[in-house]
Amino acid sequence: MSEIGKQIKKYRMEKQLTQEQLGQLLNVTTQAVSKWERGGTPDAEMLPCLSEALGVSIDALFGREEQSVTMSLARQLCRMPSEKAFRYAYELCWAIEIGLIHDADFLDKVLSKFLDYSEIADDEYDYFSKIMLDSGMTTMRLSRDMHYFFIMEEPESGIRSQIADPETLRSVFSVFADKRMLRIIFYMYSRNNTPLDTSLISKNTGIECKEVDRCMETLCKNRLATRTPIDTAGGEINTYLFRQESSVLPLLCFADEIAKKEDEVRDFFIDFSRRKPLL
């Protein structure tokens, strides 16, 4: 067996792929994969595809580089255009989700039917996969045009010790419970990341300027926006800019998930085997 054949077989088995499944990822026959692993050499133009499918560098395929999984994935993503990198990252999340199920029979069943997560979300329903164990939890959304993945390893001190007190959390939720502030948030997030003054926000939300200033003061207090005074011919005015590093969008996504009606949702996989209390 050639060195590259050994490495292809090694990394294929590490990813728990059959020869047929690897062939499907590369759009080649099972016989071609078998031939490589028995001593044949893939065409040079196939090497980048093999590298991506197996999650290792081309050097690693020739046995010249032993990499940690983290290093390998980081290099793979770094070489990709942003749009392709995000899709590939979500494919990795899909692999993580079905791997954390820890059911070999279910894993084989899923991989044989759904190598790609997008094959599941092919209708109008929103599909979710949820794992809640003592060691951690995940939530994965598999909708047609909306995908996200959340994973949390269980803190040694427990989840409750890492979360703010109920009153502090209530003050945050009260911001999003105010329909005027929520209207402002949606408007400002629909704009490019440029400062907006009170009058422009008022015009586009239908909220009076005084109320806009009051709402923006609250949003700034909660570090969801920043305020910058600007001198104009008519006097000083305030401009506002939403903090792009905020967690508003993930919060809105999870709120949307909670708000889904029962007939809009389909469960792909649910495992609530957790024995510890949540908080």
Residues of the chain with CATH 1.10.10.10: 126-279
What local confidence, expressed as pLDDT, does residue 155 receive?
93
How far apart (Å, rounded) are the C-alpha atoms in residues 60 and 65? 5
pLDDT in tens, 179-212: 999 999 999 999 888 899 999 999 999 999 999 9
pLDDT, tens digit, 9 for 90 and up, residues 105-144: 877 777 777 777 777 767 788 889 999 999 999 999 988 8
Distance (Å) of CA 102 to CA 108, 131, 137, 144, 225 = 11, 11, 13, 26, 43
CB neighbour burial string for 222-259, b if at least 16 within 10 angstroms, e if fewer: eebbeeeeeeeeeeeebbbbbeeebebeeeeeeeebee
151: confidence class by pLDDT, cuts 50, 70, 90: very high
Structure tokens given for 161: 């010790």
| CATH fold for domain 3-78 | 434 Repressor (Amino-terminal Domain) (1.10.260)
Place of tokens 């979500």: 90
Q: How far is CA 58 from the centre of its chain?
A: 27
**Which residue ranges does the chain devote to CATH 1.10.260.40?**
3-78
DSSP 8-state code for residue 118 = G
Give the model's pLDDT for residue 269: 85
SS3 for 21-76 is HHHHHHCCCHHHHHHHHCCCCCCHHHHHHHHHHHCCCHHHHCCCCCCCHHHHHHHH
CATH of the structural domain 126-279, one choice from 1.20.140.10, 1.10.10.10, 3.40.50.2300, 1.10.3720.10? 1.10.10.10
| Segment holding 167, helix H or strand E | helix 166-177
